[in-house]
């Protein structure tokens, strides 16, 4: 088994029996040395979560090589935060467009655009939690004014849940009001708190 990390050959003192153990060990070792895995490939095939589960129990001897690309966690997190921040205003704009469609009576178009909007918010929340865990940041300590980022995420989740419930009951007025008023207010607060989070990560 040939192991390559960022283009450099890497030796393993004791080769695990399965690919799942090897991948897990490599990720842990790299994280301990201040690197986080961006991507990995086995025998030239990119490994996503699904494929990793498929090969986890197979013997290492079934494969020829594994290649990993890594990055500095701080650099990765700051770049991710910048990307996340860049999504905020487009989501706000999309929420306003959906509200307009509802006001115009174009309900089918509006309903079809709500879930993609909520999915983006879900990805934003996941990214924030992953960064906080990786960089060991307490989101309760990330704040603007009296509200912490934890409070804002909780408020956002509540708005998302109310929108989903309103979708189930076809309550278009409640959907419009949430997208037009509650969502932008929470989004602007999160945008400001992401700046504060970036500053905390940069200071690590």
Token pair listed for 124: 């934003």
What is the pLDDT, as a whole number, of residue 34?
84
Report the pLDDT value the prediction gives residue 36, as an integer from 0 to 100. Answer: 87
- In this prediction, residue 198 carries a pLDDT of 95
Query: Residue 32 pLDDT more than 90?
Result: no
pLDDT at 13 over 90: no
CATH topology of domain 74-202: 1.20.120
Domain 2-71 is of which CATH architecture? Roll (3.10)
Q: Tell me how far CA of residue 159 lies from CA of 124, 174, 184, in angstroms.
A: 15, 11, 11
Contact 56, 18 (CB under 8 A): yes
Q: pLDDT tens for residues 86-110? A: 999 999 999 999 999 999 999 999 9
- Cα gap 58→21, rounded to integer Å: 10
- Identify the pLDDT of residue 31: 85
Please answer whether residues 153 and 139 qualify as being in contact, where contact means their C-beta atoms are separated by less than 8 angstroms: yes
pLDDT 10s digits, 70-90: 999 999 999 999 999 999 999
The pLDDT assigned to 10 comes to 92
d(CA 176, CA 160) in angstroms, rounded, equals 12
Q: Is residue 144 very low, low, confident or very high in pLDDT (cuts 50, 70, 90)?
A: confident
For residues 120 and 91, is the Cβ–Cβ distance under 8 A?
Answer: yes
Q: How confident is the model at residue 39 (pLDDT cuts 50, 70, 90)?
A: very high
For residue 35 the two structure tokens come to: 């690197």
Whether the predicted pLDDT of 146 surpasses 90: no
Tens digit of pLDDT for each residue in 150-185?
999 999 999 999 999 999 999 999 999 999 999 999
> Could you state, in order of their start, the residue ranges of all structural domains in the chain?
2-71, 74-202
Query: Residue 116 class from Cβ within 10 Å (0-12 exposed, 13-18 middle, 19+ buried)?
Result: exposed
For residues 39 and 66, what is the distance between their CA atoms, to the nearest angstrom?
A: 11
pLDDT in tens, 52-70: 999 999 999 999 999 999 9
How far is the C-alpha of 173 from the C-alpha of 128, rounded, in Å?
30
- The proportion of the chain whose per-residue pLDDT surpasses 90, expressed as a percent, equals 87
Mean pLDDT across the stretch 143-151? 91
Q: Which of 39, 3, 37, 36 is nearest to 19 (CA)?
A: 3
């Amino acid at each position: 088994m040939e192991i390559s990390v960022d283009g450099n050959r890497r030796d393993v003192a004791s080769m695990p029996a399965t690919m799942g153990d090897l991948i897990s060990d490599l990720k842990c070792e790299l994280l301990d040395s201040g690197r986080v895995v961006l991507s990995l490939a086995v025998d030239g095939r990119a490994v996503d979560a699904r494929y990793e589960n498929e090969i986890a129990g197979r013997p290492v001897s079934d494969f020829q090589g594994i290649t990993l690309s890594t990055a500095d966690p701080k650099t990765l997190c700051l770049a991710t935060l910048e990307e996340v921040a860049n999504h905020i205003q487009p989501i706000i704009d999309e929420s306003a467009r959906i509200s307009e469609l509802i006001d115009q009576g174009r309900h089918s178009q509006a309903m079809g655009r709500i879930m993609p909007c909520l999915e983006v918010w879900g990805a934003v929340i996941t990214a924030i939690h992953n960064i906080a865990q990786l960089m060991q940041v307490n989101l309760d300590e990330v704040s603007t004014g009296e509200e912490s980022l934890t409070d804002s995420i909780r408020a956002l989740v509540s708005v998302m849940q109310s929108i989903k419930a309103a979708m189930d009951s076809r309550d278009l007025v409640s959907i419009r009001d949430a997208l037009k008023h509650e969502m932008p207010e929470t989004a602007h607060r999160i945008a400001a708190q992401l700046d504060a989070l970036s500053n905390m990560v940069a200071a690590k």
